[in-house]
Structure 1
Amino acid sequence: MGDNRRVPMTDLIQTVLIYALPVLFAITVHEAAHGYAARHFGDNTALMMGRITLNPLKHIDPVGTVLMPLLLYFATSGAFLFGYAKPVPVNFSQLRHPKRDMIWVALAGPASNFIQAIGWALLLVALVATGTQERFFLEMARAGIAVNLVMWAFNLFPLPPLDGGRILVGLLPWKQAHFLSRIEPYGFFIVLALVVAGVVGALWLRPLMALGYSAINLMLSPLVALLR
């Protein structure tokens, strides 16, 4: 838990500027990836509703993407943040192989975030290699890695309506999959309660993010060694 000191306005503005671009990219590409995958596997719902787009305004939820994170930032002095975007509509019954294709459509979002995290890491390596010392850009690149790894790990939590829950529904036998899918209307509130209780952070987010950071370090270590 954070302390109760007021967050200086200058710190808030600086934090918003550093995180704005990474968050916008992370949310936009994540949601668009679901739409592209759904269209690829036979469902044009997102296409017909204009949601297969890289325009962030189509994916931002005023409450979940803007108001809630800002309120939580002030309330917890930046120690706890939570938010969400407008989910891309997918009609799973329109997919050519609904149970199987659901897995790929759900996986597309988190996969796009992991790829973006690698992209931001490459940018950070390039900035350091070229001797860039501008703190703003270095912090933005680090924020890009962190934001995308958080979205990657959080959305893989195995409870619907999160992507991990949809993946699990696609993998389980029909009986168990049907039981899990019935939780979806209450899933958001269950996940939120688990987040507030610290369960998701301690038992899921931190271990998975540590694994993500390690994987990216391993992938980029040959490039880093080459640039030294």
Structure 2
Amino acid sequence: MNFAQIVQTVAIYAIPVLFAITLHEAAHGYAARHFGDNTAAMMGRISLNPVRHIDPVGTIAMPLLLFAATYAVPGGPFLFGYAKPVPVRFGNLRHPKRDMIWVALAGPGANLFMAVAWTLLIYLLAATGAEERFFLAMCRAGVLVNLVMFAFNLFPLPPLDGGRILVGLLPMRQALLVSRIEPWGFFIVMALVISGVVGSLWLRPLMAVTGSAIDLLLTPVRALLF
């Protein structure tokens, strides 16, 4: 991949990634406020302004450095990044253990909604005969980015959303045991990602199932357009 291809790839993925992380984090804040915690609102984090959610290291520096370091590696580049987490004080929620589940689900739910929206846009472009390769590539990138964020964040290990959902669903004793993993959860997840466990056993299967479900959901739309 030469420099021009790298620039083109960054241009294609920039808007989908910004939308994906912004709506994901804002959705957590909206859900938290709905269930009784105004922390994110008071800190200005319930916002569709991507600047408020960008972490200079996790959102910009780390993905770019990883892309530059691994783009020539067989199998393609390895990318990983994160946004600035929306602050949620679960103790402020009206029913902390139960409401934690909905607050955690809000982020992946926003990514699922965007994956559907980008897929729908692909159908609309195809139905109108649009042949602009850049926009079609951007739509496909939007689907891919949001499916990755949806599936990855549902991995059942704190501090990921799936871990918080698991804590909310488990009985109190087991929930406390799982929650104690959180200080080391990021490092455990990274080790599982690098080893390929997350990708092969969780990410790709869940993305495939979700993509098929989206196609099934939009079957009536395809029937109307084509």
Q: Distance in 2 between matches of 1:134 and 1:80?
A: 28
Partner of residue 114, structure 2: 116
Question: Identity percentage over the alignment?
Answer: 73
Structure 2 SS opposite 1:88: coil
Structure 1 SS opposite 2:218: helix
Partner of residue 144, structure 1: 142
TM-score between the two structures when normalised by the length of structure 1? 0.96
**Of 14, 17, 22, which residue of structure 2 is paired with 1:20?**
14
Q: Which runs of 5+ in 1 are unaligned?
A: 1-6
CA deviations on 1:86-137 (whole Å, 9 max, x unpaired) are 0000000000000000000000000000000000011100000000000000
Which residues in structure 2 correspond to 1:29-48 (within 5 Å)?
29-48=23-42
**Of 161, 178, 181, which residue of structure 1 is paired with 2:179?**
181
Q: Distance in 2 between matches of 1:54 and 1:89?
A: 16
Partner of residue 3, structure 1: none
**TM-superposed deviation, 1:79:** 2.4
**Of 215, 221, 224, which residue of structure 1 is paired with 2:222?**
224
CA deviations on 1:157-187 (whole Å, 9 max, x unpaired) are 0000000000000000001000110110110
Q: Distance in 1 between matches of 2:185 and 2:89?
A: 19
Deviates more, 1:75-84 or 1:111-120: 75-84
Structure 2 letter corresponding to 1:22: P
Q: Distance in 2 between matches of 1:227 and 1:119?
A: 15
Q: Distance in 2 between matches of 1:68 and 1:158?
A: 24
**TM-superposed deviation, 1:226:** 1.9
**TM-superposed deviation, 1:225:** 2.0
Q: Is 1:57 the counterpart of 2:55 in the alignment?
A: no
Partner of residue 196, structure 2: 198
CA deviations on 1:10-53 (whole Å, 9 max, x unpaired) are 11110111001100000000000000000000000001111000
Partner of residue 124, structure 2: 126
**TM-superposed deviation, 1:221:** 1.7
**TM-superposed deviation, 1:8:** 1.2
Structure 1 letter corresponding to 2:41: L
- Contact 2:123–2:222 (8 Å) recurs in 1: yes
- Alpha-carbon RMSD across the aligned residues, in angstroms, is 0.7
Dislocated runs of 4+, deviation >6 Å: none
Partner of residue 69, structure 2: 75
TM-score between the two structures when normalised by the length of structure 2? 0.97
